[in-house]
């Protein structure tokens, strides 16, 4: 068997062309925790110097687009809230288009409920009043929230999740993500989530392409996960570029049926 470094070298495959627009995942791609990943700032600066539109894409709903933009700017990557697309954007788009009158019970941190209310949607606190249980990455998840979701679903509500990530990459190994909260609710209710709106869903892809403002054929989705970043890019007609700085190891790539258009060790290999 090949060792990790030799396997990485064997699997690396440069993009081979430039794109008009780049959508870059954040955790595990641009940074880990509060530390910029090697070469990320210069790679992004080069893409911009070349005239490409760059947006940042995350399934993580713990912070607002403004917060992410501030963090990126602090890490030497100038950004504005318009440069950031989160799963909250896809969630709001989905609900406004498909369920504008629905009553929503959130299993999430406060930012999610606030964003839904600001978008003109109805958030309720009584489980039996809910039409939809919105589930997100929630570090305050507890038995009371699980019981409320159980009551809502048993009363007829459907489950909509922001994303299907099992964990969020961090320097110390990761944090349980939305899939863990969703699985707990599915387990006790016997009901599967009706919709997942974040990566790799078409709802997220639409939000990303709308923000990029370029045709899918001229865009690349760059990230560290095969089943979200690369899968969404390919399904939407974008290039899917994998970076090996986060959740996907060379061994994972070798085993996977999802084949990226390109594989780079870090963002420095993209421009």
Average pLDDT, the chain: 92
Please name which of 258, 260, 239 lies closest in space to residue 17, comparing C-alpha atoms: 239
Q: Which CATH number fits domain 16-87+199-269: 3.40.50.800, 3.10.180.10, 3.40.50.1000, 1.10.565.10?
A: 3.40.50.1000
CA distances from 144 to 83, 141, 212 (A): 36, 8, 40
At residue 32, the 3 state secondary structure works out as strand
pLDDT exceeds cutoff 80 at 2 = no
pLDDT exceeds cutoff 70 at 8 = no
Identify the pLDDT of residue 13. Answer: 81
Element (H, E) at 220: strand 219-223
Neighbours of 101 (CB within 10 A): 8
Identify the pLDDT of residue 174. Answer: 83
pLDDT in tens, 17-52: 999 999 999 999 999 888 999 999 999 999 999 999
The dihedral built from the CA positions of residue 116, 120, 126 and 132, taken in this order, carries a sign that is negative
The dihedral built from the CA positions of residue 118, 160, 177 and 224, taken in this order, carries a sign that is negative
What is the mean predicted confidence (pLDDT) over 212-224?
96
What are the tokens at 89? Answer: 């954007």
The domain over range 100-196 is classified in CATH as 3.40.50.2300: no
Identify the pLDDT of residue 9. Answer: 60
Bridging pattern class, strands 35-36 and 31-32: antiparallel
What is the mean predicted confidence (pLDDT) over 210-217?
95
Domain ranges of the chain: 16-87+199-269, 100-196
Confidence of residue 7 (pLDDT cuts 50, 70, 90): very low
Identify the pLDDT of residue 173. Answer: 80
């Amino acid at each position: 068997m090949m060792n990790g470094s030799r396997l990485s070298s064997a699997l690396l495959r440069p993009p081979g062309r430039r794109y008009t627009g780049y959508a870059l995942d954040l955790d595990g791609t641009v940074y880990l925790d509060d530390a910029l990943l090697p070469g990320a700032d210069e790679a992004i600066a080069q893409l911009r110097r070349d005239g490409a539109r760059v947006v940042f894409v995350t399934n993580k709903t713990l912070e607002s687009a403004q917060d992410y933009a501030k963090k990126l700017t602090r890490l030497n990557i100038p950004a504005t809230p318009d440069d950031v697309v989160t799963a909250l954007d896809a969630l709001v788009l989905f609900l406004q288009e498909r369920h504008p009158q629905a009553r929503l019970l959130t299993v999430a941190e406060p930012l999610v409920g606030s964003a839904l209310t600001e978008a003109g949607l109805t958030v309720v606190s009584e489980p039996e009043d809910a039409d939809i249980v919105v589930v997100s990455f929630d570090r305050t998840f507890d038995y009371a929230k699980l019981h409320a979701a159980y009551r809502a679903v048993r009363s007829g509500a459907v489950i909509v999740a922001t994303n299907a990530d099992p964990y969020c990459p961090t320097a110390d190994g990761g944090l349980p993500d939305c899939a863990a909260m969703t699985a707990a609710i599915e387990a006790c209710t016997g009901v599967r989530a009706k919709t997942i709106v974040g990566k790799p869903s078409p709802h997220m892809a639409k939000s990303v392409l709308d923000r990029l403002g370029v045709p899918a054929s001229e865009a690349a989705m760059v990230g560290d996960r095969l089943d979200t970043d690369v899968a969404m890019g390919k399904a939407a007609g974008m290039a899917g570029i994998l970076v090996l700085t986060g959740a996907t190891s060379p061994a994972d790539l070798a085993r996977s049926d999802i084949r990226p258009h390109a594989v780079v060790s870090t963002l420095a290999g993209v421009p």
